Structure 1
Amino acid sequence: MDCMVTQLKNYEGLTVNATQFINSWGGSVVGPDGKTPTVDSPEAKAGLTALVDGYNSDVIAKRSNGFDEEATNNAFVNGEAMYAYNWPYMYDNADSDGSGDKPKSAVQGKFAVAPIVGENGPGASTLGGYNLAINVNSKAKNTALDFIRFMESPDSQMSFAENAFPPVLASIYDDPTLAEKYPYMPVLKTALENAKPRPVTPFYSAVSKGIRDNVYAALTAGKSIDQAVTDISTVIKNAGQ
């Protein structure tokens, strides 16, 4: 049995995992201006070192270097791993008794949810989800605003929660009926209160690719942490040029 599985395939999921380790050890990737690299700080290096050391020591399963969310889900639900990092959708799969449209889980009734690991206690999860905005050129701004208000309403957010999508309203997490159905809701609320956004930069696509390419090389090709953060920093500096 694997100790832990997570998403270390060279795609956006690796950016999420890498930034979780960086943020959980007190580091960051870019400064407030979205252009200045900060990933070469001692804290950021410590977080990436923890990720790579965990991988090299098999605390994080080697096969995770080919895992996306669904592969992680399948490994945990099938009873192949003690721990897994994943989005909340995995809860329903892990808790399935096989009576509905999901196959029976090997860990049904035998698992719990906790915040991700940090250097000294719970770490900082990485945020991700739907972003609602109104295009400045829209000819239906009022209608768009009405739609945003509808999506952010308590009824809509409760529907999100009932389908394993974390709601944006803190009050939803305190609903006793929902907490009874999904016991992880209080833990998820705590995790979100400590969560950090993905690197906030106008050049996100390039920065994300720089992170995952270099962290993947540190995991699988022996690239040193120092060289990885140097190369990520170079990507950030060049992204706006």
Structure 2
Amino acid sequence: MRSPTDPWEAGVRSSKRGPAALAALTLSASLLAACGEDGGPPTITWYINPDNGGQGRLAASCAAAAGGAYQVDVQVLPTDASQQREQLVRRLAAQDSSIDVMSLDPPFVAEFANAGFLRPFDGADATALTDGVLRGPLATTSWKDQLVAAPFWANTQLLWYRESVARAAGIDPAKEGFTWDEMIAAAQGQQKIIGVQGKRYEGYMVWINALVVSAGGEIITNTEAGRDADPTIDSRPGDEAARIIGDLARSPAAPPAMSTASEEESRSAFQGPAGGFMVNWPYVYSAAKEDVAGGGIDRSVLDDIAWARYPAVSADLPSRPPLGGINLAIGAFTRYPEQALDLVRCVTSLENNIAYMLDSGNPAARGAAYDDAKVREAFPMADVIRQSINDAGPRPITPYYNDVSTSVQITWHPSADVRVPESPDESAVFMSDVLQGRRLL
């Protein structure tokens, strides 16, 4: 799949251009490529997920630091993670050599590596790229004992709550072992709502997986067996996850339109008069500050917001918070592996982990970044973020992650219909059938 700026694509899609114009475009593209190879430094193409421009600024900084050894061209992928995956898969399946470096959502690393789309890092580079990286993101970077992706930035969800609501309910959400059941009861007692991501998309899978792993289980095991992996969502941990989701969805603590709520809808509800609790990513704090500055909410709302570790499923079992973020991988078909590796080293350095966290608001993958004075000033919850990322539970690491995730989303939606044991049982059967080719998504 060619990018919208590809010269050939631009020519084909123009009804006013004939064969001569198309030939000229093809020649132009060849000359541009030759210029990069023979007339100057090579251009490294980095496919990124959308952000506030922070990755583009890092690209420019790293190119400058390379002293002219290469230039960097940043190409922005779609906003939706599944669409990012689709675009990259199509290009890499065609052995597209223009994909030098890519910002890859962690759940897709195993799929890309298993297909031979990623260039592994050797021992010395693997050591340098993983030194000081927190356990959560580190677990998503290898496939079959090879480092195939470098941790860039990580992410996790926290429990956000209104201090006034917690005080009125007589609870302390920051205490060790604070559970979903306690939170639901408190929200109902105070006639408040709990912001969650219940829309049928990857954010819903994030919630389901966090509950299952926090209860001590896994959605699927033996993942290196590929299509013969074992769905294990039909288990006690799966039942606990279904109970919590169903109980919340059918309770007065459920937010309006919970089945269509993503991160922003959750944040809006939490900041409203009915807001009590919310699970969401750290960006919501800076977003609330921006809302105050823009007059969207009163300063008293921001002053009432507090945070804690993700709620536990059981008081005697620490929660495994959700894990997000981005890893950097080198395309297997790149013509410039050394320059691509230099860019990855530069972007993922501790110095740039700190710079990117301050610039974009996305948490660092390296633990030492959270000791930086400017980071601690910008993120007063830095210690909670670091510990949560370190203890986070990754989504299933499997080359068939897309099938696994979509199977769960289909069978657990809408959340008000999620019941025990029907939903986990149906999900396991459906997932197995999809993996074995007996059913289509």
Q: TM-score, normalised by structure 2?
A: 0.50
Structure 1: distance between partners of 2:381 and 2:320: 17
Structure 2: distance between partners of 1:74 and 1:224: 28
Classify the secondary structure of the residue corresponding to 2:277.
strand
Tell me if structure 1 keeps the 8 A contact 2:221–2:230: yes
Q: Which residue of 1 aligns with 2:281?
A: 87
Aligned residue runs from structure 1 range 143-182, under 5 A: 143-162=339-358, 163-182=360-379
Q: Which residue of 2 aligns with 1:210?
A: 407
Structure 2: distance between partners of 1:20 and 1:132: 24
Q: Which residue of 1 aligns with 2:11?
A: none
Tell me if structure 2 keeps the 8 A contact 1:26–1:44: no
Classify the secondary structure of the residue corresponding to 1:124.
coil
Structure 2: distance between partners of 1:186 and 1:96: 22
Sort the Cα spacing of 1:235 and 1:151 in 2 relative to 1 into closer, same or farther, 3 A: farther
Tell me if structure 1 keeps the 8 A contact 2:354–2:372: no
CA deviation after TM superposition for structure 1 residue 97, in Å: 6.7
Please say if 1:26 is aligned against 2:216.
yes
Structure 1: distance between partners of 2:284 and 2:291: 14
Greater Cα offset, 82-91 or 104-113: 104-113
Classify the secondary structure of the residue corresponding to 2:329.
coil
Q: Which residue of 1 aligns with 2:272?
A: 78
Aligned residue runs from structure 1 range 27-42, under 5 A: 27-33=217-223, 35-42=229-236
Structure 2: distance between partners of 1:98 and 1:104: 5
Tell me if structure 2 keeps the 8 A contact 1:27–1:44: yes
Question: Letter of the aligned partner of 1:216 in structure 2?
Answer: H
Q: TM-score, normalised by structure 1?
A: 0.89
Greater Cα offset, 191-200 or 174-183: 174-183
Greater Cα offset, 70-79 or 5-14: 70-79
Classify the secondary structure of the residue corresponding to 1:225.
coil
Please say if 1:200 is aligned against 2:397.
yes
Q: Which residue of 1 aligns with 2:332?
A: 136
Sort the Cα spacing of 1:93 and 1:8 in 2 relative to 1 into closer, same or farther, 3 A: same
Sort the Cα spacing of 1:132 and 1:238 in 2 relative to 1 into closer, same or farther, 3 A: farther
Aligned residue runs from structure 1 range 217-236, under 5 A: 217=414, 219-220=415-416, 222-236=417-431
Sort the Cα spacing of 1:151 and 1:102 in 2 relative to 1 into closer, same or farther, 3 A: farther
What is the aligned-residue RMSD (CA, Å)? 2.1
Question: Letter of the aligned partner of 2:430 in structure 1?
Answer: V
Q: Which has the larger radius of gyration?
A: 2
Question: Letter of the aligned partner of 1:159 in structure 2?
Answer: A
CA deviation after TM superposition for structure 1 residue 29, in Å: 0.3
The unaligned stretches of length 5 or more in structure 2 are 1-190, 437-441
Structure 1: distance between partners of 2:351 and 2:296: 29
Question: Letter of the aligned partner of 2:211 in structure 1?
Answer: F
Structure 2: distance between partners of 1:63 and 1:97: 23
Higher strand share: 2
Q: Which residue of 2 aligns with 1:108?
A: 302
Structure 1: distance between partners of 2:356 and 2:273: 28
Sort the Cα spacing of 1:206 and 1:131 in 2 relative to 1 into closer, same or farther, 3 A: same
Aligned residue runs from structure 1 range 117-136, under 5 A: 117-118=311-312, 119-120=314-315, 122-136=318-332
Question: Letter of the aligned partner of 1:140 in structure 2?
Answer: Y
Tell me if structure 1 keeps the 8 A contact 2:246–2:419: no
Question: Letter of the aligned partner of 1:124 in structure 2?
Answer: R
Classify the secondary structure of the residue corresponding to 2:387.
helix
Structure 1: distance between partners of 2:403 and 2:218: 17
CA deviations on 1:122-155 (whole Å, 9 max, x unpaired) are 5212212212112222211112211211221122
Tell me if structure 2 keeps the 8 A contact 1:27–1:47: no
The unaligned stretches of length 5 or more in structure 1 are none
Q: How much identity, in percent, do the aligned residues show? A: 25
Structure 1: distance between partners of 2:295 and 2:207: 27
Aligned residues: 238
